[in-house]
């Protein structure tokens, strides 16, 4: 779907539908049976150009999420009615900041039009083709035009992340993800794929312990992005040091020998959503050209109970040298991340951010509204949380505290991969990962996206399946830091 900005005025109304928002008590025409309530929509057909009135609810309770949902649901309705083009006039926006509203509107409409289908025939419900923001002046068109450019680049990254996460296990193997990642190589982005042999030579015993149970060969992706122009003061102690992103890439998680119940096991194709977000972020970096160096690491493997699979009770030696007693082969995400986090140390990172569908417990704690963030650094955690509030990919912080360590003490190895009881599942995941940081002083944040990475039904106007969480969050984080060039 194409997004563009134009200046209004003498132009005749474009074919398609213009969307106008109303607060409670406002009406498009005095006679209209419409009250501006949240969720309310009134379609006003015309010969060529239709109009859609969309309610936002009470003006004093307005927030960005309300506009996101109203925009996405309006777009879904119009696509369902066979409309191909939508417009939004900044002039008609009922609050002062029309430019921000236009951005949220455009982004929500754009993201709502994602489709994933493996049907043999093209689906009949076609998405919208284009969206125009009609501006009040040439200057506004300039500003909104660059905002739309940014939104499209990020949304393309989100769509790539959603595509990869949505791929069923048989179609989204480690080899297939590696093949798609390689296509992003070029310009400022370099992609390297470490195969099983290379990982063996490095000593990634924890990662490979998970890969053993499957015939699909594992792959460890390494992305490097080096900006042409940098933001930082060259004298700053972190100058030139990259932000390292790490994504869990379990292309299918059966649980391994500690096999999962079959109910909803098919959803475990989404267990590569962290890696998908990393790949989406590097894809968008090609267009957005952030002014900080970035490294992306994605350990990719299946978790299956084949004849060579790791057994409960096996002890493996991680890249860090620490030994791990694998008490439950279904706690595999932390095993592959242990090696990836330690590997991150090679790049002398300014900060490390990992994203992982790590624990079912995260859904119990926070549901699907907030993802969990665990961090050894208040400033990093706070910036990520702020970015989350702004873009709607919300993060709630859970504690890391040495008091939890006793729960993962092993009687034979340095650490065990699950606690004895069922206490604090998401925190334990974080406590385990923390032990594998190459340098505990480097700011690190772990995002547990187990409950937020997909939604089998879709809601609030968003399509069903993967959400692509992490991509928008990371770019909002960079934008707020001042690390994105003006477009």
Give me 351's structure tokens.
Answer: 């900060």
Compare residues 253 and 476 and give the one whose CB is closer to Zn ion.
253
The residue of the chain with the least Cβ separation from Zn ion equals 253
333 interacts with Zn ion by CB under 5 A:
yes
Contact 343, 249 (CB under 8 A): no
476 dihedral zone (left: phi>0; alpha: psi -120 to 50; beta): alpha
- Report the nearest approach of ligand BES to the CB of residue 84 (Å): 37
- Report the nearest approach of Mn ion to the CB of residue 380 (Å): 27
Binds 144, which of Mn ion, ligand BES, Zn ion, none (CB < 5 to 8 A, cut-off by type)? Answer: none
- Report the nearest approach of Mn ion to the CB of residue 478 (Å): 31
C-alpha span between 377 and 410 (Å, rounded) = 27
Question: In this structure, what DSSP letter does residue 216 have?
Answer: S
Which of 144, 177, 219, 250 touches Zn ion (CB under 5 A)? 250
Contact 425, 440 (CB under 8 A): no
Residue range at the interface with Zn ion (CB under 5 A); choices 153-161, 186-194, 258-266, 326-334: 326-334
Q: Which of 14, 260, 322, 397 is catalytic?
A: 260
C-alpha span between 421 and 431 (Å, rounded) = 15
Residue range at the interface with Mn ion (CB under 5 A); choices 44-52, 172-180, 248-256, 432-440: 248-256
Radius of gyration from C-alpha coordinates of the chain: 24
Compare residues 165 and 232 and give the one whose CB is closer to ligand BES.
165
302 interacts with Mn ion by CB under 5 A:
no
CA dist 149 to 154, 459, 479, Å?
9, 26, 14
What's the farthest any 2 CA atoms get from each other in the chain? 78
Q: Which of 110, 241, 334, 434 is catalytic?
A: 334
Compare residues 332 and 476 and give the one whose CB is closer to Mn ion.
332
CA neighbor of 470 nearest in space, from 443, 441, 440, 450: 450
The residue of the chain with the least Cβ separation from Mn ion equals 330
Question: In this structure, what DSSP letter does residue 307 have?
Answer: T
- Report the nearest approach of ligand BES to the CB of residue 317 (Å): 21
- Report the nearest approach of Mn ion to the CB of residue 310 (Å): 12
Strand 49-55 vs strand 41-44: parallel, antiparallel, or unpaired? Answer: antiparallel
Give me 227's structure tokens.
Answer: 């900006």
- Report the nearest approach of Zn ion to the CB of residue 356 (Å): 8
448 interacts with Mn ion by CB under 5 A:
no
349 interacts with Zn ion by CB under 5 A:
no
CA neighbor of 337 nearest in space, from 249, 404, 214, 427: 249
354 interacts with Mn ion by CB under 5 A:
no
330 interacts with Mn ion by CB under 5 A:
yes
CB-based burial, 383-414: b 16+ in 10 Å, e otherwise: bbbebbebbbbbbebbebeeebeebbeeeebb
- Report the nearest approach of Zn ion to the CB of residue 52 (Å): 42
271 interacts with Zn ion by CB under 5 A:
yes
Contact 135, 144 (CB under 8 A): yes
Instruction: Confirm whether 260 is a catalytic residue.
Output: yes
Question: In this structure, what DSSP letter does residue 66 have?
Answer: H
Compare residues 274 and 290 and give the one whose CB is closer to ligand BES.
274
Residue range at the interface with Mn ion (CB under 5 A); choices 5-13, 73-81, 331-339, 415-423: 331-339
Compare residues 73 and 448 and give the one whose CB is closer to ligand BES.
448
The residue of the chain with the least Cβ separation from ligand BES equals 360
Compare residues 144 and 415 and give the one whose CB is closer to ligand BES.
415
Instruction: Confirm whether 334 is a catalytic residue.
Output: yes
Q: Which residues contact 449 (CB under 8 A, 6 or more apart)?
A: 273, 274, 277, 355, 356, 357, 362, 371, 469, 470
Compare residues 189 and 433 and give the one whose CB is closer to ligand BES.
433
Q: Catalog residues that contact ligand BES under the rule CB under 6 A.
A: 253, 271, 328, 330-333, 357-361, 418, 425, 450
Give me 384's structure tokens.
Answer: 């990520």
- Report the nearest approach of ligand BES to the CB of residue 455 (Å): 12
Task: Give the other-Cβ count within 10 Å of 142's Cβ.
Answer: 13
107 interacts with Mn ion by CB under 5 A:
no
- Binding residue count for Zn ion, defined by CB under 5 A: 4
Question: In this structure, what DSSP letter does residue 160 have?
Answer: H
The phi, psi pair for 343, rounded to 5°, reads -60, -35
Compare residues 250 and 384 and give the one whose CB is closer to Zn ion.
250
Q: Which residues are catalytic?
A: 260, 334
Residue ranges that bind Zn ion, judged by CB under 5 A: 250, 253, 271, 333
């Amino acid at each position: 779907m194409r997004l563009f900005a134009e200046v209004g005025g003498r132009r005749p109304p474009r074919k398609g539908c213009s969307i106008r928002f109303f607060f409670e008590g406002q009406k498009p025409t005095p006679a209209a049976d419409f009250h501006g309530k949240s969720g309310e929509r009134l379609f006003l057909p015309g010969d060529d150009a239709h109009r859609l009135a969309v309610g936002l609810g009470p003006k004093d309770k307005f927030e960005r999420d309300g506009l996101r949902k109203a925009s996405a649901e309006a777009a879904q309705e119009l696509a369902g009615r066979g409309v191909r083009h939508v417009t939004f006039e900044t002039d008609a926006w009922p609050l002062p900041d029309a430019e921000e509203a236009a951005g949220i509107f455009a982004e929500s409409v754009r993201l709502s039009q994602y489709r994933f289908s493996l049907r043999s025939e093209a689906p009949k419900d076609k998405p919208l083709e284009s969206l125009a923001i009609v501006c009040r002046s040439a200057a506004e068109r300039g500003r909104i035009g660059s905002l739309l450019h940014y939104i499209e680049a990020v949304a393309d990254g989100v769509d790539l992340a959603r595509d990869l996460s949505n791929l069923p296990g048989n179609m989204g193997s480690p080899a297939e993800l590696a093949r798609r990642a390689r296509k992003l190589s070029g310009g400022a982005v370099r992609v390297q794929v470490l195969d099983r042999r290379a990982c063996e030579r490095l000593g990634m015993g924890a990662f490979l312990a998970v890969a053993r149970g499957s015939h699909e060969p594992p792959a460890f992706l390494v992305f490097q992005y080096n900006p042409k122009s940098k933001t930082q003061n060259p004298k700053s102690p972190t100058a030139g040091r990259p932000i390292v992103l790490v994504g869990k890439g379990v292309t299918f998680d059966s649980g391994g020998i500690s096999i999962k119940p079959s109910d909803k096991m098919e959803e475990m194709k989404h267990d590569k959503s962290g890696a998908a977000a990393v790949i989406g972020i590097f894809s968008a970096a090609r267009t957005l050209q952030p002014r900080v160096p970035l490294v992306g690491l994605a350990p990719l493997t299946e978790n299956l109970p084949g004849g060579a699979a790791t057994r409960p009770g096996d002890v493996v030696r991680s890249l860090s040298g620490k030994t791990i007693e694998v008490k439950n082969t279904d706690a595999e995400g932390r095993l592959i991340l242990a090696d990836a986090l330690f590997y991150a140390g090679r790049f002398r990172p300014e900060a490390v951010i990992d994203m992982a569908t790590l624990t079912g417990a995260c859904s119990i704690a926070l549901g699907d509204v907030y993802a969990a963030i665990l961090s050894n650094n208040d400033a990093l955690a706070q910036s990520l949380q702020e970015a989350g509030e702004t873009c709607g990919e919300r993060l709630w912080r859970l504690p890391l505290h040495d008091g939890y360590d006793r729960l993962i003490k092993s009687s034979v190895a340095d650490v065990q991969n699950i606690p004895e009881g069922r206490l604090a599942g998401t925190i334990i995941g974080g406590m385990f990962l923390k032990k594998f940081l190459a340098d505990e002083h480097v700011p690190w944040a772990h995002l547990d996206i187990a409950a937020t990475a997909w939604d089998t039904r879709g809601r609030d106007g968003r399509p069903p399946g993967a959400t692509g969480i992490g991509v928008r969050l990371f770019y909002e984080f960079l934008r707020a830091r001042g690390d994105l060039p003006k477009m």
